[in-house]
Amino acid sequence: MLLIEALANSGPYVLDAARSLDAHVFVATHEDVYESYPAALRDKIHGTVFTDLTDPDRALAELAAFARATGIDAVAGCWEFFTPLVAHLAQRLGLPGNDPLRAQACRNKAEMAQAFRAGQVPAPATIVVDSAGQAEGALGRAGIGFPVVVKPAEQGGSWGVSVVESPGQLAAAVRHAQSWPIAAPHGLPMDQRVVLQEYVDGPEFSLDTVVWRDEYFHMPLVEKHTTGGSYRAETGHTCPAALGHADVRAVRAATERALQALGIRNGVAHTEVKLSPGAGPVVIEVGARLPGDHLVDVVRRASGIDEARAYLQAVLDEKPDVPEPRQGACAIRFLTPPRAGTFRGVTVPGRHDGLVDQHLTTPPGAVVGGAHDNSARIGHLVFTAPTPGQVNADAARILARTRVEVS
């Protein structure tokens, strides 16, 4: 199996799943990026192939030659930016994958909006601008009022995303969305267009779906927790979401329409949906990849389903093993600094039966900023309980007594 870039939140889960399927994984990456891999990640990899992922044509040719010489049986990916390359490579090798002609829309939110319109997907009204000077006039012509969501055409992790309440804030928000012309660590150039989207009120959820031969295998629905104000970063997730059967069916139906519009037919998708009062599910965006934020682990702890394993089965052209979810709930909550400064440590009081994992991603002594996007996280806590209500209550109680110390 060839995995295009493993240095992602879902990378270790994919490699563990491959081992459970007795599959050897070769990873395509940059040589300098590979040098930054943690030792634990390297130990899970059978071999590597180095190419230039910023040059799609060159990478496609080199990886196709490598795959044929090595006898690769499946192509998978972790990074959203490389999902078009995954689709094109699978097609060239005659292996299961997504529609390469529509794969760019899975990475680019401007093209995704066009695909949603063509596929009649319930989605926010969306326009695209090239500069701050175009924004206010374009919104007026489109009849989109405030508040409005401003986001880069190509980015992830809530980077560059803001909610704008008035025209006076708009130009600065557009310029902020254009602050990342290059994506690290590969040096991948980003589309500098900016997406302006009507704000959809209501709670937000995510739904992961493994697709095999156009058949959908849905994971349990996940409730998303975010900050308020101008910057909406994720603060945590709870699985399963405490929704009724009718709402779950409606979210699944809207998601399937979105996946059809994007040509996702063999692989996995992470779909973000809001439940708008009176309007039902509204699809915000889709990634043709496994989720980040350790949601693979959260879903598995809550339901017993290994979605990374099911994804690899789909691209190996095997029917995914997705059992009925067991009864249980899991929540992850991200730790962020209360203000900018020097991070000193985290204090989690006492022992708690529901707290099953805690992990720091930032060492004490590091300089940290404010919690404007997902990059501000310094760690996370994971909780389990019999029900979503109980796990949310446990998480809230423990977080209220947890101290992130900054000087």
Choice between 302 and 351, residue whose per-residue pLDDT is larger: 302
pLDDT at 256 over 90: yes
pLDDT band with cut points at 50, 70 and 90 for residue 298: very high
What are 192-225's pLDDT values in tens digits? 999 999 999 999 999 999 999 999 999 999 999 9
Nearest 5°: phi and psi at 82?
A: -105, 10
Peptide bond before 325: cis, by omega within 30 degrees of 0? no
Write out the CATH class of domain 2-104.
Answer: alpha beta
| Max Cα distance, the chain (Å) | 58
Write out the CATH class of domain 125-199.
Answer: alpha beta
Report the pLDDT value the prediction gives residue 395, as an integer from 0 to 100.
96
pLDDT at 184 over 80: yes
pLDDT band with cut points at 50, 70 and 90 for residue 233: confident
What are 16-73's pLDDT values in tens digits? 999 999 999 999 999 999 999 999 999 999 999 999 999 999 999 999 999 999 999 9
What mean pLDDT, rounded, does the chain reach?
A: 96
Tell whether domain 329-406 is in CATH 3.30.470.20.
Answer: yes
Q: Pinpoint the residues of the chain covered by CATH 3.30.470.20.
A: 329-406
pLDDT at 297 over 80: yes
Instruction: Tell me which of 136-150, 155-169, 189-203 is least confident.
Output: 155-169
pLDDT at 2 over 80: yes
pLDDT > 70: percent of the chain:
99
pLDDT at 188 over 90: yes
What are 350-406's pLDDT values in tens digits? 777 799 999 999 999 999 987 666 778 999 999 999 999 999 999 999 999 999 999
pLDDT at 157 over 80: no
Q: Pinpoint the residues of the chain covered by CATH 3.40.50.20.
A: 2-104
Report the pLDDT value the prediction gives residue 156, as an integer from 0 to 100.
80
pLDDT band with cut points at 50, 70 and 90 for residue 313: very high
Residues forming beta bridges with residue 225, ordered by sequence position? 236
Burial 138-149 (b: 16+ CB within 10 A, else e): ebeeeebeeebb
Residues in CB range of 67: below 8 A, 6 or more apart: 2, 75, 89, 93
Report the pLDDT value the prediction gives residue 371, as an integer from 0 to 100.
67
Report the pLDDT value the prediction gives residue 375, as an integer from 0 to 100.
78
Question: One-letter amino acid identity for 15?
Answer: L
Which whole number is the average pLDDT over 314-328? 97
Name the residue among 202, 186, 197, 122 with its Cα closest to residue 153: 197
Q: Pinpoint the residues of the chain covered by CATH 3.30.1490.20.
A: 125-199
Are the beta carbons of 285 and 297 closer than 8 angstroms?
Answer: no
Which whole number is the average pLDDT over 247-258? 99
Which whole number is the average pLDDT over 226-242? 90
